[in-house]
Chains A and B, each alone.
Chain A
Amino acid sequence: MLGVGATAVWGTPLTLEGGGASWKALGSLERFPEGVPVKVPVVGVRQDAWARSEAETLGNVIVRREGEAVHVLSATCPHNGCDVFCRAADSLFCPCHDSDFAPDGSVRTGPSPRGLDPLEAKVEDGEVHVRFVRFEVGTDERRPL
């Protein structure tokens, strides 16, 4: 009885809801240079157990502008969940285990089981918005959390 109770208490986090995906503003289109990937933080409401903060950094995304369109990738490496960074105009690199990705997110070298995860993005009134979602790491298949 006690064991079951303790396990239930300990397992509570499995029942907690994550932040859920919602549209987040990333600022104006003009802040992004043409064709060059840029890493930017995503800011939004953060519910941290009991504490709620209105404008907190939630994570990073990588934005690449092509004319009036934007391509947004999650900056979380699908291998072990490290943050990739823009090493050069044509290389997104994970410093943890050296996975190297092309600007479109596809894997070039390294242990990552899949390419960087694309995120839904749109431009409205010159503002870039992204639907910020997290994905399972370590799997070939792309599964949103």
Chain B
Amino acid sequence: MSARLRAWLDARLGLGALLDALNPALPGGPAWTRVTGGVLVAALLLQVTTGVCLAHFYAPSTTSAWGSVWFVEHRVLGGWLLRGLHAYGASAVIVCLGVHLVRLGLAAAYRAPRELVWILSLALVPVIVGFGLTGYLLPWDQRGYWATHVATGIAASTPVVGETAATLLRGGPELSTLTLSRFFALHTLVLPGCLGLVLLLGWRARARVPAPDAPRYWPTQGARTLLAVALGVAALFALALLRRVGLEAPADPGGTYVPRPEWYFAPLRQLLKTVPEPWGSVVLPGLVGAAWLALPWLDPEPRPRRRLAQALILLPVLGYGVLGALAFSADLADGDYQDARAAADEDAELALRLAEDGIPAAGAHLLLSRYPPRWGARLFEAHCQRCHRVNGRGGEDGPDLTGYLGRAWLQGVIKDPNDPRYFGHTKLRGMDPLPPEHHDQLPALTEFLRAQSGLGTTDAALVQQGEDAFYELECNACHGIEPGEAILGPNLHGYGSAAWLTGFLRDPAGELYYFEDNEMPDSADLSDAELEALVTYLHGLAPR
């Protein structure tokens, strides 16, 4: 920079004072341990940078949030890395802040006249925790949704003011689209404002600490800090590259999801489980916070109490570590949790696969809830299970559909149609069982019927043999096998195929199906899409 430009800027901007502020005095001189503050600031800058990039794509609403994060992960160039850095960066900020505070505490850097530097450093804790809590929800996936569900539940459990506080936090009585816009505003506008203010005040308080003849931050300390920052950033990149943060399935208020908070809350959760309330939830963490805030006065310069201060700093850190280890080992040993985890991973994988074909504008949660096999299963439970049993659950007025259209099920019907498992409880009891002397034809007949449904592969020779037997045994006396041929029993052309099932479900008492004796209600209240989902589900009942 030319001297003239420098002078020009200095006159208008106070450049000299600004550069001085960036090169503060360092009482005690450079030390490797003193990199913690600089590394923390660098981690925060990384969060701001990656966060600003992410905000260009993010759309905070229950219908769009998941999709916009999916878009970042899977369509934006390097988006997955960006999100990985931001997510792991959040953990890095927590670690850096923790290490920095312990370092300051053990160095007794809270003593007069540095009380405010210490207190403002502690004030970073609620701000950073706020960033974590609000950011976790933003993807609106199962992980964030349920963790926030619990977090706001904990807020709501506070005596007297709890429900009001939780309602204000959530923007309503439950997690909703207003929660997302609120959390997004907090995460990107309010909390950065608070962070800036605390850092600015901290910086100012630090600059006011008298340090006569102390060496300056640059170049020695600055170089050390830069080296530590470079190592930290390299570690973050490695982490983000090696282990994708990923996205879980879209938030679903139904279903069973076992929530877990982000790792840094795990010790607090363990404390809550181990120590009865309100000791575990409020009193113990509150006491630790109060003790740390009071350190400048508990361990002052004229009458130091080093041992007490060290105990007050190190015991909570030790407890935090032990509780964390307990929490993680408990989860590893918890079979229910591991099962729920595996199910959640499966949902996530399915949702990501389905998202490749486009995410419904009405909300990403429809990816799974409108996924035909699952949708069909729910429709079956709501509309069919009253009379039809599947896997031991449901009514017995209609045929049991466990293994429906599978070879065993088809054989059973041909062998004994009037068994209670098949049509025994219905009015449709006209069919004669296959006489025992023809039971050798069962596999062939079954294969022939199975071929009608088009499900799976069939043995062509056996199908042909079955077709011959169908005519030989005069099944065609009652069952039409040509399209549209109505005789006495259901027409078997394409029996069990999507077209056959759709026609049957629309008109179960029609003359191509089970005639007017059939008591099964039609499906007039189901849409075409719902019917298609139901048929997909029914097809899934046959063993592969």
Question: Which of the residues A41, A48, A82 comes within 8 Å of B153, measured between beta carbons?
Answer: A82
B256 touches A85 (CB 8 A): yes
Q: Which of B74-91 contact A (CB under 8 A)?
A: none
B63 touches A60 (CB 8 A): no
A28 touches B158 (CB 8 A): no
Q: For residue B259, which residues in chain A have a CB less than 8 angstroms away from its CB?
A: 82, 95-96
A126 touches B386 (CB 8 A): yes
Q: Which of A3-35 contact B (CB under 8 A)?
A: 10-11, 13-14, 16, 18, 27-31, 33
B157 touches A11 (CB 8 A): no
Interface flag for A39 (CB, 8 Å): yes
Q: Which residue of B lies closest to A136 (CB)?
A: B163
Q: Which of B380-411 contact A (CB under 8 A)?
A: 381-382, 385-387, 392-395
- In the complex with contacts A79-B157, A111-B272, A13-B170 CB distance below 8 A: yes
Question: Which of the residues B154, B176, B256, B340 comes within 8 Å of A80, measured between beta carbons?
Answer: B154
Question: Which of the residues A13, A42, A82, A93 comes within 8 Å of B167, measured between beta carbons?
Answer: A13
Interface flag for B446 (CB, 8 Å): no
Q: Distance in Å from the Cβ of A111 to the closest Cβ of chain B?
A: 6
Q: Which residue of B lies closest to A26 (CB)?
A: B382
Q: For residue B174, which residues in chain A have a CB less than 8 angstroms away from its CB?
A: 18, 134
Partner-contacting stretch, out of B8-16, B32-40, B101-109, B247-255? B247-255
A43 to B252, CA, bound (A): 12
B381 touches A27 (CB 8 A): yes
Q: Distance in Å from the Cβ of B394 to the closest Cβ of chain A?
A: 6
A138 to B150, CA, bound (A): 12
B150 touches A51 (CB 8 A): no
A137 to B340, CA, bound (A): 24
Question: Which of the residues B172, B252, B254, B385 comes within 8 Å of A27, measured between beta carbons?
Answer: B385
A28 to B150, CA, bound (A): 32
Interface flag for A1 (CB, 8 Å): no
Q: Which residue of B lies closest to A41 (CB)?
A: B254
- In the complex with contacts A30-B385, A83-B257, A111-B273, A51-B63 CB distance below 8 A: yes
Question: Which of the residues B154, B176, B255, B393 comes within 8 Å of A31, measured between beta carbons?
Answer: B393
- In the complex with contacts A80-B150, A111-B277, A28-B386 CB distance below 8 A: yes
Q: Distance in Å from the Cβ of B327 to the closest Cβ of chain A?
A: 11
Question: Which of the residues A13, A57, A93, A137 comes within 8 Å of B336, measured between beta carbons?
Answer: A93
- In the complex with contacts A31-B394, A80-B157, A83-B257, A14-B276 CB distance below 8 A: no
| Contact indicator per residue, chain B 54-84, by CB within 8 Å of chain A (1) or not (0) | 0000000011000000000000000000000
Question: Which of the residues A13, A31, A137 comes within 8 Å of B168, measured between beta carbons?
Answer: A13
Q: Distance in Å from the Cβ of A87 to the closest Cβ of chain B?
A: 6
A81 touches B393 (CB 8 A): no
| Contact indicator per residue, chain A 56-84, by CB within 8 Å of chain B (1) or not (0) | 01111000000000000000000111110
Question: Which of the residues B62, B154, B168, B173 comes within 8 Å of A145, measured between beta carbons?
Answer: B173
Q: Which residue of A lies closest to B330 (CB)?
A: A98
Q: Distance in Å from the Cβ of A83 to the closest Cβ of chain B?
A: 7
Interface flag for A97 (CB, 8 Å): yes
| Contact indicator per residue, chain B 332-343, by CB within 8 Å of chain A (1) or not (0) | 000011001000
Q: Which of A93-145 contact B (CB under 8 A)?
A: 93, 95-98, 111, 126, 134, 136-139, 145
Q: Which of B215-273 contact A (CB under 8 A)?
A: 252-259, 269, 272-273
Interface flag for B520 (CB, 8 Å): no
Q: Distance in Å from the Cβ of A25 to the closest Cβ of chain B?
A: 8
B256 touches A81 (CB 8 A): no
Q: For residue B381, which residues in chain A have a CB less than 8 angstroms away from its CB?
A: 27, 31
Q: Which residue of B lies closest to A85 (CB)?
A: B256
Interface flag for B156 (CB, 8 Å): yes
Question: Which of the residues B168, B252, B336, B385 comes within 8 Å of A28, measured between beta carbons?
Answer: B385
Interface flag for A49 (CB, 8 Å): yes
B385 touches A41 (CB 8 A): no
Q: List 22 A-B contacts (CB under 8 A).
A: A11-B168, A27-B381, A27-B385, A28-B386, A29-B386, A30-B394, A41-B253, A48-B62, A48-B177, A57-B254, A57-B255, A81-B157, A82-B150, A82-B259, A85-B336, A95-B336, A96-B150, A111-B273, A134-B174, A136-B162, A137-B157, A138-B153
**Complex A-B, nearest 4 residue pairs according to Cβ-Cβ distance, in ascending order:** A138-B157, A81-B153, A41-B254, A28-B386
